[in-house]
Amino acid sequence: MAFSHDLESSSSSLVFSVRRNQPELVAPAKPTPLEIKLLSDVDCQAGLRAQIPIVQFYRNEPSMAGKDPVEVIRHALAQALVFYYPLAGRLRETSGGKLMVDCNEEGVMFVEADADVTLDQFGDSLKPPFPCFEDLLYEAPDSEGVTDSPILLIQVTCLKCGGFIFALRFNHAMMDGVGVIHFMNAVTELARGAKEPSILPVWRRELLYARDLPRVTRNHREYEQLTDSNTPVPTDFEQRSFFFGPAEIAAIRGLLPRDLDQNVTTFEALTSYIWRCRTKALQVDPKVEVRMMCLVDARAKFQPPFPVGYYGNCFAFPAAISTAGELCEKPLEYGLKLVKEAIGEVSEEYMHSLADLMVTQGRPLFTVVGSCLVLDTTYAGFRDLDFGWGKALYGGMVKAGAGAFPAINFHVPCQNAEGEEGILVLVCLPAQVMKAFAKELDHNMLHSNKTN
């Protein structure tokens, strides 16, 4: 049998209108230090100079009757900015591409809105791509820049049913996904009455400054600068989400030898499978190199480990590299072993070497030619964020891709319409390639068989 991965819902054709108030700036609730803080050299790389959106959907909660989620969140936000006061500032660029934050209490941008729609109208399965998302997170004028713009943009949209949608866009140069979760946990805790966050923020960006004598000691092939002049650039990109529940994950593992299946994570197996199917769908020349880059949080790789409250960028995305022919023709375990080896490269020295590479090679963009980058948010905790109205029905990434680079996949925890827990993989591909990709997913699973 073929597996159905694409979560269809009535939301795909849903149209609704949103009424927005004028954007406002929310400043810290109390005076905070007015100072300049330097970002780390990992923060300052070209690939992180992007704005990343997330979204949370919340049901009406009868016990919160009489409370306005907009007011609750706005108040908690101002309180959280007392602790995370750099987020209320503005990024500036200094010589050599180094970024710093001007902690000036200017504030984060906040939008209050109402929509003539209920959560039920979004269908049984809330999943990307979301209809009318441009109305759920208003791109306010002069807010899009990486420097000299609000570091956070937040919109709270109240729905006819009493539920609401919380949408946030964060400046990736300032913080990574773990940092965003730390900050949002602080906001939700304060919204529920806490006096201070359970995890206090830690700046300590000097931990990832380049060394006094920079020395690149690792082979960072994820930053190789390649050219691809022969391939026309597609313009008809399509966003889709593919659901992998227990049956689909078991089918993928069924393509692996038993001894290997028991020693790989679901992320590694699923990523390797997606990499191979994607490469086949793109019909890449067999002799051309393709790469899958996996984001690896490096906080626990340090000795001693990074401070728990560190909210700057502390990750690498090492590259698994193969010719397209070998990846597509060899068994799945071939690509899987490459992915595992790449992930295993990340260490404390790898991160110091990365910081040194940034200052010695002009803070390069990661390799985009023949590349796909994947981020696993299944354990991030976006769905657990509770402002007092309970946990989110959907929480996490809005779409695949970031900035001008569409080949970024996200793994997001999700329930399907039957209430089954699984992983939603957000993918962006040219429209015709997307059709071929969906067929590849099913075709390979049909041949799932523990024959090894």
Question: Do 414 and 430 form a contact (C-beta atoms < 8 A)?
Answer: no
Q: How far is CA 246 from CA 1, 243, 253, 409, 421, in A?
A: 15, 10, 10, 20, 8
Question: Do 179 and 312 form a contact (C-beta atoms < 8 A)?
Answer: yes
As given in the structure block, the two tokens for residue 202 are: 């830690």
Q: How far apart, in whole angstroms, are the C-alpha atoms of residue 397 and residue 418?
A: 22
Instruction: Classify strands 18-20 and 408-415 as parallel, antiparallel or unpaired.
Output: unpaired
Q: What Rg value do the Cα atoms of the chain yield, rounded?
A: 22
- Please provide the size of the chain in residues: 452
Question: Do 172 and 48 form a contact (C-beta atoms < 8 A)?
Answer: yes
For residue 309, count other CB atoms closer than 10 A to its CB.
18
Q: Which residues of 59-79 are buried (b: 16+ CB within 10 A; e: fewer)?
A: bbbeebeeeebbebbbebbbb
* Residues tagged active-site: 172, 386
Q: How far apart, in whole angstroms, are the C-alpha atoms of residue 16 and residue 23?
A: 20
Handedness of CA 417, 419, 422, 424 (dihedral sign): positive
